[in-house]
Structures are given as C-alpha cells and as structure tokens.
Amino acid sequence: MSRTDRLMRLMDAMRRLPAPVTAARLAGETGVSTRQLYRDIATLRAGGALIDGEAGLGYTLTEDPALPPQSFSRLEIEALLLAISGLRTLGDPELARAGEDAMARIIATLPESQGRHAMHATMRLFREPAQRPSPQVDMALLRQALWEERSLVIDYLDLQDRASTREIWPLGMSYSDNHMMLLAHCRLRQDFRTFHIPRIQAMRPGGESFRPRRVALVRDYVACRATPPPPG
C-alpha cells in the first residue's frame, strides 16, 4: 500500500470510528504497526489535519474546511456514481436530486485528475424504475418529521381499504422495487407498525416530540421483531 493510500485510509478510519479511537484500533484498521501509526498521525498533523489526543488516550479528528480537498480512489469514485444513479429508480425525485447535487459538489472539490475520472466513469447502472404508486403526501414533511423526531397525524387507507386516522412516531423509511414503507410507532396501538407510504392519504404535523427516543425504539424493534410488524 502506498503512503498516500495509507494516510487516506487512516483519515477514513478516524471519520468512521467512534471518537476517541485508540492507536491500536487505528493501526489494525490501516494494517500498520503502532509505531508506524504514530508516525502517520504526526505526518497528518504536519499537513494541517486537526487531530486531538495522544498515545494512551485515543485520537479525534476535527474536520477543517481549510484542508486540501477530499481524495478518492478511482474505484471509490465509480462506486459513488453508481450509488447516486441508483437513487433515480426509487421513485423519490427529491431524494434523487439531492444525491445528484451532493455528487456535483464532491466532484467540484476533487483534484483535477480525479475529476476527470468522475467525468469519464466506465460503470453504469441499468435498472427499471420502481413499479409502485407515487406518494400522495409531502415527502419533505415526512423527512423533516423523521429528522426532528416529531409525531405526525396521518389519514391512512390500509390494504383492505379501511380508513383510519392516527398519530405516529415516524422512525424510518425503506425502499424496494414494489414498496415504499414507513416504520413507525403507532400511538393508537402502542406498538410498531409499517405503513405503505403511497396509501397515506393525508399527513400533518402532530404536537408531540419523541426525541431522543428514536434510536432506542429502533433498537427495540430490531431486537424484538423477528418478523415485520403487522400492517398499519
């Protein structure tokens, strides 16, 4: 592994792992000895990286906008482009546009040679768009409720075409070729439910915050549900 690749891998590990991360863990992630790891930390610091900590305490990387642009391998660039192009098949135009905008900003900050790699990517994704009904509700409102951990009141038509109105705590969305689903904690049933997003007839903000319970609820769902929860 070249020195540049090794330093890139070290930076990636420090971004990815919970801080502070020990020298032994970083050495294992980058495949070097602890002594070499200390030298690599010193090299990154000398190059302008803001790395707090020391041997025996662990290290924390503080991102600095003044640092040189992020660098990617050619395969990483191809992987990012493939992932972004796959968003177009999910049937969520705003999400696809957000991915394309983000990729454009990434490409704009790449070194010249890597920018050329992105412009002349050799891999393509060919998939048919998802075959499912389009959502009838404001997806931006749903995403905002997910991020802010706030309840929603939904008018829902279940698979037997029975209408109901209920307040939910939205926990996460999932996409497949045939379904766009919302995992939520139903306040009416006091249990987890999955809702077909295209079958939500209307949606409005609720008056309840469930922050910071989302992570614990998702953990409970994963631990306690060997099978998907019943339909909403």
Mean pLDDT of 165-192: 92
The mean pLDDT of 13-36, rounded to a whole number, is 88
Lowest mean pLDDT among 3-7, 54-58, 129-133, 177-181: 129-133
- Name the β-bridge partners of 172: 183
Task: Please report which confidence band the pLDDT of residue 176 belongs to, taking 50, 70 and 90 as the band edges.
Answer: confident
Residue predicted with more confidence, 138 or 54: 138
pLDDT band of residue 227 (cuts 50, 70, 90) is low
Please check the confidence at residue 215 and state whether its pLDDT lies above 80: yes
pLDDT at 64: 55
pLDDT of residue 4: 79
Asked if 149 and 209 touch (Cβ cutoff 8 Å), the reply is yes
Q: What percent of the chain has pLDDT over 90?
A: 42
The closest alpha carbon to 186, from 227, 138, 221, 135, belongs to 221
Q: Which of 152, 172, 161 is nearest to 229 (CA)?
A: 172
The DSSP output letter for 17 is: S
> What integer is the mean pLDDT of 136-156?
94
Assess whether pLDDT exceeds 70 at residue 186. yes
Class of domain 139-224: mainly beta
Residues 6 or more apart in contact with residue 131 via CB below 8 angstroms:
177, 178
Radius of gyration over alpha carbons of the chain, in Å? 23
> What would the pLDDT profile of 91-123 be if each residue is shown by its tens digit?
888 899 889 888 887 887 788 888 888 888 898
DSSP character string of 24-73: HHHHHHHT--HHHHHHHHHHHHHTT-EEEEETTTEEEEE--TTSPPP---
Share of the chain above pLDDT 70, in %: 93
3-62 maps to CATH 3.30.565.10:
no
pLDDT at 174 over 60: yes
135 against 63, higher pLDDT:
135
